[in-house]
Amino acid sequence: MAMHIKSKLPKVGTTIFTVMSQLAAEHGAVNLGQGFPDFPVPQRLIDALARAMQAGHNQYAPMTGIPALRQAIADKTEACYGWRPDVDAEITVTSGATEAIFNAIHAVVRAGDEVIVLDPCYDCYEPAIELAGATAVHVALDPASFAPDWAAVQAAISPRTRMLIINSPHNPSGAMLGVADMQRLQAMLDGTDILLLSDEVYEHIVFDGARHESVLRYPALRQRAFVVSSFGKTYHCTGWKLGYCIAPPALSAEFRKVHQYNVFCSFNPAQHAFAEMIQAEPGHYQSLGAFYQDKRDQFRARLQGTRFRPLPVAGGYFQLVDYSAVSDLPDLEFARWLTVEHGVTGIPLSPFYATPPAGQRLLRLCFAKDERTLNLAIERLSKL
């Protein structure tokens, strides 16, 4: 007997990242689609993980995260942003940033609420909003610069608006919010009870001498915000799925109610490893921007020898390219064609939008790869 289930997520299929990675594997393509590094994790981190397992840290961790790691996070936050969160009341270790984003939304967003998202936006936001019984209100970023139109954001606010989600450095574009953006955001939210979810997983991958304008730098913003970070992005180990959320005590208390019945706690040995790594080798995250800027610059320079036009990248580890000189195919069709026929996989931008801009011909390529991977990709792209 066939079972008929009314889906709670009728618009959701298999994520574009899974689809394109599977297609890349099937056709032996260079995978510049899904955002994961293919170079080694820092050796100190590997050694610390092994020591933690050998020392017996293999059972449940405390629900909020081990004290040593929360202490290290507080130290790092103070060093980076000039403000120290409370170790016990404001820091929660999570099973990756995606879990933290889901927890934050479900902690405070109720059925009938609205959550403003800025398109193009990462694809985990809207499903979490819909599972909470709320509505995602999409406001488009500028299609050329990917800067926010704050007047449009202001116009989207209604009596039902519960939360606004921002992401800087931005995935997929690499654009960043500046001081003026944060000041405008602060003024816009002042006097409201709208909460803020700030996705800052690429916080240390910032280029050209710019400063990451974390919400944590701004007292009036952080008192209403969940700020999400990722160890996987910072330490090249996306498969370890460990991140954290910093939020005021009242918000953290609600966040933890969801967290404890979602995963309860996160990978214990890795928590010990990250606690050691943060304290013993701060130079890693301090130099991460320069490390990736070199990759960005080399990749962009080599793209100049192709028919793909690279857009500016201020942070993160993705390069958007305009492929309109190569093809007039829509981006989903082009991404498939490029993978199957020419052996390079990227991510089309249209899945990041509720309503993609008409005629947009952009593809996202990940340059968080070793030199051999990027060279092979460029060699194939140069033939088009």
**What's the residue count for the chain?**
384
d(CA 280, CA 352): 38
What per-residue confidence (pLDDT) applies to 1? Answer: 67
Q: What averages of pLDDT result for each successive group of 10 residues across the chain (384 residues)? A: 84 86 94 91 97 98 98 98 98 98 98 98 95 98 96 98 98 97 98 98 98 98 98 96 98 98 97 98 97 97 97 97 97 96 96 94 97 96 96
Do the Cβ atoms of 213 and 175 come closer than 8 Å?
no
To which residue do tokens 């996160």 refer? 266
Residue 35: what pLDDT? 86
Kindly write down the DSSP assignment for every residue of 308-368, as one continuous string. Answer: -EEPP--BSSEEEEE-TTT--S-HHHHHHHHHHHHSEE-EESGGG-SSPPTT--EEEEE--
Joined together, the tokens standing for residue 314 give: 């201020």
Write out the H or E segment, with its range, that includes residue 243.
Answer: strand 243-246
pLDDT score, position 11? 84
Return the number of other C-beta atoms located less than 10 Å from residue 196's C-beta: 23
CATH topology of domain 16-40+286-381: Aspartate Aminotransferase, domain 1 (3.90.1150)
Cα–Cα–Cα angle for 241, 250, 78, rounded to 5 degrees? 60
Domain ranges across the chain: 16-40+286-381, 43-280
According to CATH, the topology of domain 43-280 is: Aspartate Aminotransferase; domain 2 (3.40.640)
Give the amino acid at 227.
Answer: V
Residue 136 phi, psi dihedral angles, 5° rounding: -85, 125
